Structures are given as structure tokens and as C-alpha cells.
């Protein structure tokens, strides 16, 4: 991951301190197909507040939560496709899903 700090004069974005560029190469095990993705991010954290290594750890931590929880909720449990929109049903179903995700 690469971070740039000289952004105040380059970007018209209030509060931006660092811009990040992360390159990720993935290989599908079955086919051997390789893909390369480049992602960008900006942060208000200065280099003194968070080094490149610390920002990389924060980025990985965010995606581990996204992959463990949100993806399972959205894709496996179909939360976004749910049709319950009245009364307490959405909260009750969310509590049930939470129980399923935290059960040993």
C-alpha cells in the first residue's frame, strides 16, 4: 500500500491528509485465473496519527468485518431482499439473524 501526504495543495477536499492506493492480486484456485484490483481511499488521519502500516491494518480490519458479517447477512441470509417492513418484524428478524451469526 502506498500513501501520499502532499495533498493539501493538490485536492480541494476539506480535511484530507493522506490518500491511499492498494493493489490486490488474486488467483482463483480452480482455474488459475489472476485478477488485479487497485483501490483508492482518502483519510483525515495525518501521517503522525497513522502510518502507512497502521492504515493498512485499519483497511484490512474493515474488510474482515465486511466479509464476515455484512456479506453473510446480505447474501447468505438475504437480509436486503427481505419483504418484512411493518411493525417490529424487521427488528425481530434482525435479532434472529444476530443470534444465528453469533451461535457457536
Per-residue tens of pLDDT for the chain, all 104 residues: 656 666 666 777 788 888 888 888 989 999 999 999 998 888 899 889 999 889 888 887 766 666 666 677 777 777 767 777 788 887 887 788 778 777 77
Question: Where do the domains of the chain lie?
Answer: 2-102
Dihedral sign for Cα 73, 77, 78, 83, please.
negative
Neighbours of 18 (CB within 10 A): 21
Please tell me the pTM assigned to this model. Answer: 0.52
Q: Which residue has the cell 447477512?
A: 73
Which three three-digit cell numbers place residue 5?
501526504
Neighbours of 55 (CB within 10 A): 20
DSSP code at position 77: S
Rounded distance, CA 77 to CA 71, Å?
9
Amino acid at each position: 500500500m502506498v500513501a501520499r501526504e502532499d495533498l493539501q495543495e493538490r485536492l480541494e477536499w476539506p480535511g484530507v491528509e493522506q490518500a491511499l492506493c492498494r493493489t490486490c492480486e488474486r488467483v482463483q484456485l480452480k482455474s488459475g485465473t489472476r485478477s488485479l484490483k487497485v483501490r483508492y481511499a482518502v483519510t483525515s488521519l495525518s501521517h503522525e496519527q497513522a502510518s502507512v502500516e497502521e492504515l493498512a491494518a485499519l483497511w484490512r480490519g474493515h474488510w474482515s468485518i465486511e466479509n464476515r458479517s455484512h456479506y453473510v447477512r446480505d447474501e447468505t441470509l438475504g437480509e436486503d431482499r427481505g419483504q418484512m417492513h411493518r411493525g417490529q418484524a424487521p427488528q425481530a428478524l434482525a435479532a434472529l439473524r444476530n443470534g444465528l451469526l453469533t451461535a457457536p
